[in-house]
Structure 1
Amino acid sequence: MHYSKRNKHLNGKGYTLLEALFNFVVFIMLSQIVLLVLAWIQQMNATFLTNEGAAWELFIQDMQQYFVEVENVSLSSDSTSIDIYYPIQTIYTINQSGDVLRLKKNDGNVPLLIGIKSVFFKWDNQFISIEATFQNGIKKERKFFVQKSQE
């Protein structure tokens, strides 16, 4: 009787090395698929959920209107603020306050770009360059032509 139980166990009813290898291969394939899906989700988040590109392009569209019919432009000593002078005794100041790039008018402040870490201006007699660094480290730069007023 003892012999028959041993014989039954040796007849292949147990867990074999081949089954273990098959389970291991299936596990490795499933883990690779999970890693690919996670990488794809992260790439989609980086592409669709960051709105810095869209916010920057809207900011560019808004900024172009401020550089038409300009009398003079002056830059602050640390290049973080710019004053725009217009012929009708109007002065606009663009500077950073916290994480917001704002336009100071006579009647208050207008937020132009939100979520920035730093901004630098460069004035080259006909062109203004604006370089902004967002909170997540993305850097954007654009150069504007300044149209002087005809006196």
Structure 2
Amino acid sequence: MNESGYSFIETILAMGILMLLCSSLLPITYTMKTNLMNKKMEMIAAETAYEGLKLFQAVQQTEGTRIIEQVEYQWVFNGEEICVRFHNILSSHAKNVFPLQEMSMNNEKGYTLLEAMFQLIVFVLISHLFVLIMLWYAEMTSTMQTDEQSKWELFVYDLNKGLKDILTFSVRDDHKRITFQTTESVHYIDCYRNTIREQVNGGHVPMLNGINKCQFTYSGNMLTVAVEMPSGMQKERTFYVPIIEK
């Protein structure tokens, strides 16, 4: 406080206004992120329904479960339609609460408690602002990763659409190329540098660009594709490969 007697009040007012502005932006970004996540889960649920239909047509399987990005998708086919249920399976978090210890504050001058309250208010405001900034940074980082997620989901859609009417299927020993023959043509999809590409008419068409590494694994008619994005994000998806019996 200076001789005019209003510096501390001005500081508190400025901090309050800044905190109010930051607090008003947080709900907007949270709503946007929630809507994007809901749309993404609905898209994966539709993909799960498609995978379930392939399994029913191939081996008459009427129900199944997939876990993608810590979300469990359960599908059931009743003969007429496929119903997909999904819910988050993240582990719960516990918070320990300790009882407050009794405290006593005395000062011969009689104003220590008032000073402590002022300091506490300033500390709470600064802490609140710091938390808001960290949350905002986390939201922005998540938004930046949306581009990688979109490219991955488009790749999953394209690959899933091509896995039909297959006569033969194989994976190269280094797990970097898959080869499969359909009733129409032979397909070669491989990992080359930072790209997953498909060989078409002597040339190559990129299916997924900008990756650090990728790997194909095939076992029991199930193909698993695992990739690592430049941001370090790990992606993995499993597809059912319907082999036509000769």
**Normalising TM by the smaller chain, what interval?**
0.7 to 0.9
Q: Does 1:112 align with 2:112?
A: no
Give 1:64-103 correspondences, 5 Å limit. Answer: 64-88=160-184, 90-103=185-198
Aligned counterparts of 2:118 and 2:203: Cα–Cα separation in 1: 68
SS at match of 1:116: coil
- Deviation, 1:23, is 6.0
Return the offset for 1:19.
Answer: 8.4
CA contact (8 A) 2:191 2:215 kept: no
User: Which one of the candidate residues 130, 141, 157 is aligned to 1:61?
Assistant: 157
Find the aligned partners of 1:116 and 1:64 in 2 and give their Cα distance.
19
Matched, 1:34 2:129: yes
Q: Following the alignment from structure 1 to structure 2, what is the Cα–Cα distance between the partners of residues 94 and 62?
A: 12
Larger radius of gyration: 1
Equivalent residues of 1:69, 1:150 under 8 A apart: no
Q: Tell me if 1:122 matches 2:223.
A: no
Contact 1:126 1:145 (8 Å CA) reproduced: yes
Q: Which amino acid aligns with 1:122?
A: T
Give the partner amino acid of 2:194: D
Of 232, 237, 245, the match for 1:137: 232
Whole-angstrom distance in 1 between the partners of 2:225 and 2:151: 14
For the residue of structure 2 that corresponds to 1:122, the secondary structure is: strand
Over the aligned positions, Cα root-mean-square deviation in angstroms equals: 2.4
What displacement does 1:26 show?
Answer: 4.7
Higher strand share: 1
**SS of the residue 1:71 aligns to:** strand
User: Separation in 2 of the partners of 1:26 and 1:99?
Assistant: 52
Percent of aligned pairs with the same residue?
20
Tell me how far 1:59 sits from its aligned partner: 1.4
- Deviation string 1:3-34 (CA, Å, 9 cap, x unpaired) is xxxxxxxxxxxxx9788756644542332122
Alignment check: 8 A CA contact 1:70 1:86 kept: yes
Distance 2:201 2:220 in 1: 25
Task: Report if aligned partners of 2:164, 2:182 keep a CA contact under 8 Å in 1.
Answer: no
Kept in 1: contact 2:226–2:235 (CA 8 A):
yes
By relative contact order (CA 8 Å, sep 6+), the higher-ranking structure is 1
Specify every segment of 5 or more residues in structure 1 that has no aligned partner in the other structure, as ranges: 1-15
* Residues 95-119 of structure 1: CA deviation (Å, up to 9, x unaligned): 1222221112115222212221111
Q: Per-residue deviation at 1:120?
A: 0.9
Match of 2:139 among 20, 23, 44: 44
